[in-house]
């Protein structure tokens, strides 16, 4: 048989395979999500997320040093306050746990790029992502509190803010508030396409943010929909989002690809807590090769179109990149 096209020619060695690789991953694209909690004396492991912790400010500083040593220079912070109320006051308090932590990190380790998660669910007594009117989240009233939270985080040291609440119009409200407070250069990474997903279960354990009643399907997206995701992304860009995100990542590669095709800003994907915990659980049973699975999951998101990858495996991925296992 006389075959001209032998596609296996380009697979004959690791050197050649890496040379012709279509998808490339760099440590500069990695973001590590971290939890800081008020009222604890030492870091506490999260039961449903083995290897992840609720940190004190001191342990967060040690974590920051470790991440920087490994080449992970970006972190998104989630706060767990000691006291919660119906208006989520600790979300925008000057001495809130996230604000204090950002201030200390920037004072001691300014090279860490800090992203503030802007939402109400960790701070409200009812666990919803906004201010309630009865048992319904009041979209427009919530915007004021989200804007206050974004400004307080930026003033405390956040290099970027990331609204994750899924209220309509929140990007415009935050952009206006930042600009009015002299923070015109603070970028917004919008959780533009955030689905109501069962993959968030361990996060709600980690952040103590499960809703006290009902669910979040009236503001987070129906996972059956793709065109709606495109609409959400375009709307957030129009309102001033500098980066948009699809969340979760692993089961939503088609959404990442579709949104990437029609937008012209950087794209982030968040490999969420459920993805992490599923891999950890299967690996502990010896059912999968954890390292290889983690690399495949990351590559699939970048292959779909992500430019930025939020992952609890960011430190491990940085090592895999150094070792040539991925990249």
The single residue of 194, 231, 260, 280 carrying the catalytic annotation is: 194
Active site residue 247: yes
The single residue of 70, 247, 260, 280 carrying the catalytic annotation is: 247
> Three-state SS string across the chain, please?
CCCCCCHHHHHCCHHHHHHCCCCCCCHHHEEEEEEEECCCCCCEECCCCCCCEEECHHHHHHHHHHHHHHCCCEEEEEEECCCCECCCHHHCCCCCHHHHHHHHHHHHCCCCEEEEEECCCCCECCCCCCCEECCEECHHHHHHHHHHHHHHHHHHCCCEEEECCCCCCHHHHHHHHHHHCCCCCCCEEEEEEEECCHHHHHHHHHHCCCCCCCCCCCCCECCCCCHHHHHHHHHHHHHCCCEEEEECCHHHHHHHHHHHHHCCCCEEEEECHHHHHHHHHHHHCCCCCHHHHHHHHHHHHHHHCCCEEEECCHHHHHHHHHHCCCC
Active site residue 231: no
Tell me which residues are annotated as active site: 194, 247
């Amino acid at each position: 048989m006389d075959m001209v096209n032998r596609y296996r020619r380009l697979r004959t060695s690791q050197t050649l395979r890496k040379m012709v690789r279509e998808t490339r991953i760099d440590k500069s694209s990695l973001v590590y999500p971290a939890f800081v909690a008020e009222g604890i004396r030492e870091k506490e492991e999260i039961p449903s997320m083995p290897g992840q912790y609720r940190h004190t400010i001191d342990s967060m500083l040690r974590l920051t040093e470790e991440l920087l040593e490994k080449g992970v220079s970006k972190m998104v912070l989630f706060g767990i306050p000691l006291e919660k109320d119906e208006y989520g006051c600790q979300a925008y308090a000057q001495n809130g746990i996230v604000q204090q932590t950002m201030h200390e990190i920037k004072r001691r380790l300014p090279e860490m790029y800090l992203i503030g998660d802007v939402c109400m669910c960790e701070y409200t007594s009812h666990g919803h992502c906004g201010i309630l009117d009865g048992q319904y989240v009041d979209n427009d009233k919530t915007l004021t509190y989200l804007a206050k939270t974004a400004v307080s985080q930026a003033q405390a040291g956040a290099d970027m803010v990331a609204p994750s609440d899924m209220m309509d119009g929140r990007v415009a409200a935050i952009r206006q508030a930042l600009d009015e407070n002299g923070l015109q250069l603070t970028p917004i990474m919008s959780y533009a396409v955030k689905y109501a997903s069962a993959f968030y279960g361990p996060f709600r354990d980690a952040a103590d943010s499960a809703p006290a009643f009902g669910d979040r399907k009236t503001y987070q997206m129906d996972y059956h929909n793709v065109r709606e995701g495109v609409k959400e992304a375009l709307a957030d860009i129009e309102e001033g989002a500098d980066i948009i995100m699809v969340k979760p990542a692993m089961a939503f590669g088609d959404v990442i690809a579709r949104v990437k095709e029609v937008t012209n800003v950087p794209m982030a994907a968040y490999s969420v807590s459920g993805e992490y915990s599923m891999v950890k659980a299967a690996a502990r049973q010896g059912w999968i090769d954890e390292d290889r699975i983690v690399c495949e999951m990351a590559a699939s998101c970048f292959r779909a179109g992500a430019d930025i990858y939020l992952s609890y495996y960011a430190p491990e991925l940085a090592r895999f990149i150094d070792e040539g296992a991925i990249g």
